[in-house]
Amino acid sequence: MCVPGCQQVVHRALSRRGFFSGAAATGFAATAPGLAIAAPASRFTSVVDLTHTMSPDFPTFLGTPGIRMEKEFDFKKDGFNLYWWRLNEHAGTHMDAPIHFSEGGVTAERIPAQTLVVPLSVVNVTAKAARDSDYLLTREDLAEWEKRHRRLPDNCCVAMHSGWAQHVGSATKYAGKDAAGVLHFPGVSPGAADWMMKERKVVGLAVDTLSLDNGPSKDFKVHSAWLPSGRWGLENVANLDRVPAAGATLVVGLAKVKDATGGPARLLALV
């Protein structure tokens, strides 16, 4: 099965010289030099939903409900159903756009669609995270992945699979807040993030926890380096245990809202 329209779009973009001088991509290219779009897998046999269901009960970084829904129209009374949502951009399965941690970074609606369909590389650190809830994915974990699956593909999204998604039903475990108010969940080490930016062409970083930086982080070093470079992040990713470590294509269905610093995303893996 071919990704509808995808091959053609990718082919057109790749065959057009100086793609990143195009108006749509100017902002992105300005902050992420050298990044180009990747040709995604052209064939797949299944679609894996990497998205958690959002609700007011979903655990959040701030500890307050990430969404409030108010029914404006009701089918029985009005003939149709409609809710207003009051939504935190950074709750549930969502994207961190470059602007989230930078002054003039790219906003959600300006991220080129072609860069939202990318190879997905899943790094499994479940055993280490089970032993240490503050585990930080390391440069060595990436080296181990490359030993098994070859070099990280250009323009891919690297996803940390810590196993944390299984705890999503318990805010106590998922956020791991201790008596002193400190959160505990795994994240990515600044060294690994730095290496992915400098030595590989990774465009996206995904985690199955509340934040790219681990729970106890106070300085958000990964957010502060990764996002201002023009790259994006994904948090609270689901079902990473159902996709292969290499070979899947990630489709990031990001809500397109003007000036948004990120937002809810339907993440689909084509396997």
Binding interface with Zn ion (CB under 5 A): 90, 96, 235
Q: Tell me which residue has its CB nearest to Zn ion.
A: 90
In the bound complex, what is the minimum distance in angstroms from residue 260's beta carbon to Zn ion?
Answer: 11
Residue 2 or 62: the one with the smaller Cβ distance to Zn ion is: 62
Residue 208 or 235: the one with the smaller Cβ distance to Zn ion is: 235
In the bound complex, what is the minimum distance in angstroms from residue 262's beta carbon to Zn ion?
Answer: 5
Residue 20 or 226: the one with the smaller Cβ distance to Zn ion is: 226
**Roughly how many angstroms between the first and final C-alpha of the chain, as a whole number?**
11
Closest by CA to 256, choosing from 49, 144, 107, is: 107
Residue 92 or 176: the one with the smaller Cβ distance to Zn ion is: 92
In the bound complex, what is the minimum distance in angstroms from residue 95's beta carbon to Zn ion?
Answer: 7
In the bound complex, what is the minimum distance in angstroms from residue 96's beta carbon to Zn ion?
Answer: 4
